[in-house]
């Protein structure tokens, strides 16, 4: 019984730490919004605005597709990390949180993708 409780606790803590890591990273990104664009890439993106952020997300999405097609696992991990980072910059730009996205994913859990799309209208 104790082993089961420890496994459950470990799984919960790993999940919580993952969610917290992304939230902490987002907070770091938000804190850099007003930094000097000469010394902060994140500040540069925020200063350039939404269109520049969206362009970067598009670029990173394409690079992710290329890496996946090439079946290069290391490169794919690198590109997905870049894509996620730039999506977090977008969350920052739009004043959203990681929890906003997690809550939406939880809402969709157990719902067919086809059904979920129908419900959007």
Residue 53 resides in a domain: yes
pLDDT tens-digit map of 52-102:
999 999 999 999 999 999 988 999 999 999 999 999 999 999 999 998 998
Domain boundaries, position 80: 36-108
Number of domains in the chain: 1
- For the entire predicted model, the pTM comes to 0.79
Phi-psi region of 97 (alpha: psi -120 to 50; beta: other; left: phi over 0): beta
Phi-psi region of 111 (alpha: psi -120 to 50; beta: other; left: phi over 0): beta
First to last CA, the chain: 47
Residue 4 resides in a domain: no
∠ CA 97-13-73 to the nearest 5 degrees? 75
- Helix then strand count (H, E) for the chain reads 6, 0
């Amino acid at each position: 019984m104790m082993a089961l409780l420890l496994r459950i606790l470990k799984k919960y803590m790993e999940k919580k730490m993952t969610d917290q890591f992304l939230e902490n990273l987002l907070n770091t990104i938000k804190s850099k919004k007003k930094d000097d664009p000469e010394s902060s890439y994140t500040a540069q993106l925020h200063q350039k605005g939404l269109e520049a952020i969206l362009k970067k997300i598009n670029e990173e999405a394409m690079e992710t597709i290329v890496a996946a097609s090439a079946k290069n696992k290391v490169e794919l991990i690198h590109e997905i990390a870049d894509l996620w980072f730039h999506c977090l910059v977008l969350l920052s730009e739009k004043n959203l949180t990681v929890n906003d996205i997690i809550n939406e994913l939880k809402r969709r859990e157990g719902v067919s993708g086809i059904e979920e799309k129908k419900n959007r209208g």
